[in-house]
Amino acid sequence: MAKSIKIRAKVKGGVTIVKTLISHPMETGMRKNKKTGKKIPAEYIQEVTCTHNGKNVLTAYWGTAISKNPYMSFQFKGAKSGDKLKVSWLDNKGKSDSAEVKIK
Amino acid sequence: MNTNRRSFLKSSVTASAIGIAVGAGLISPRAVLAAWPKAAFQATDVNSALSAALGASNASPSGDIKLKAPDIAENGAVVPVTVTSKIAGTESISIIVAKNATPLAATFNLASNTEGFISTRIKMGKTSDVVAVIKAGGKLYTAKKEVKVTIGGCGG
């Protein structure tokens, strides 16, 4: 699951605006395969953590009601251009990925 | 005597190890205390989801929360929602879809330097209230908005 995360992070007036896009199916476990009638097993992200220079700025717990290929945006203070921002996720099947960018 | 000494040593070692890790900023206190709240996401009504996720369900409405969501969502699978909280000391933002099978969509735990702002996209099964619940200073505040859904985003 390489490169499943896209991150944009930009400092503007002391506030860093972060936008992330993760490619993930986010299956709820309720949907049925139309051909076989069997339920498609649940596969969704449960936890997303964002750290700025190693310090946690956001921990998100997600349920199945987050859309497919989740988009998330948040803002935090105290970062400057060139700082590192890392985003990682973990899903219910134990799969995970992380990505790191430099804040613009 | 011996057992006392043993258990004392054990507990002090564990406590200090956690203390060091927190102090060094390796893990936030929240990360130590809370894992993914399974009961909250499996709860089928709003109140029990709130109690499981945030420890209380008595949220009071607040004008300091801005919840931005469309009036009508043509596609319930992708409903953009933005929550802005002007409440001082906002610790977490939860998004709830009242009529989904499991109402709790997400909880975002914010660090002290993180602004009370979250934007994301959620799924909605049918027309329902979208509720933002903010935890600040141990109290819950809420704002809601009805979103009409023409095509459901769950099942199919």
ipTM of the complex in this document: 0.88
- Beta strands A84-91 and A45-52 are antiparallel
Residue A32 pLDDT > 90, yes or no?
no
- pLDDT by 10-residue block (mean), chain B, 156 residues: 57 53 45 66 82 81 88 88 90 88 88 90 89 88 90 58
A interface with B, Cβ–Cβ below 8 Å: 15, 28, 30-32, 46-47, 49, 54-68, 70-78
CB B102 within 8 A of CB B76: no
Which residue out of B74, B123, B126, B149 would a mutagenesis test of the A interface target, given it has the greatest number of A Cβ atoms within 10 Å? B123
Q: Which of A75, A86, A89 to mutate to test the interface with B (most CBs of B within 10 A)?
A: A75
Nearest CA in chain A to B118: A74
Strand partners for B46: none
Measure in Å the smallest separation between the Cα of B33 and chain A Cα atoms: 12
Contact between B128 and B53 (Cβ < 8 Å) = no
Q: How far is A8 from chain B (nearest CA, A)?
A: 14
Query: pTM of the predicted model, to two decimals?
Result: 0.78
Largest CA distance in chain A: 54
Domain boundaries, chain B: 1-33, 36-149
CA dihedral for B26, B136, A103, A97, sign (positive or negative): positive
Give tens-digit pLDDT for B11-40: 555 555 555 444 444 444 444 444 788 878
CATH for the stretch B36-149:
2.60.40.2470
Contact B88/B123 with Cβ under 8 angstroms?
no
Length of chain B: 156
CB of A61 within 8 A of CB of B37?
yes
Task: List chain B residues with CB under 8 Å of A30.
Answer: 101, 154-155
- Count CB atoms within 10 A of the CB of residue A47: 17
What domains appear along chain A, each with residue ranges and CATH number?
Answer: 5-31+38-102 (2.60.40.10)
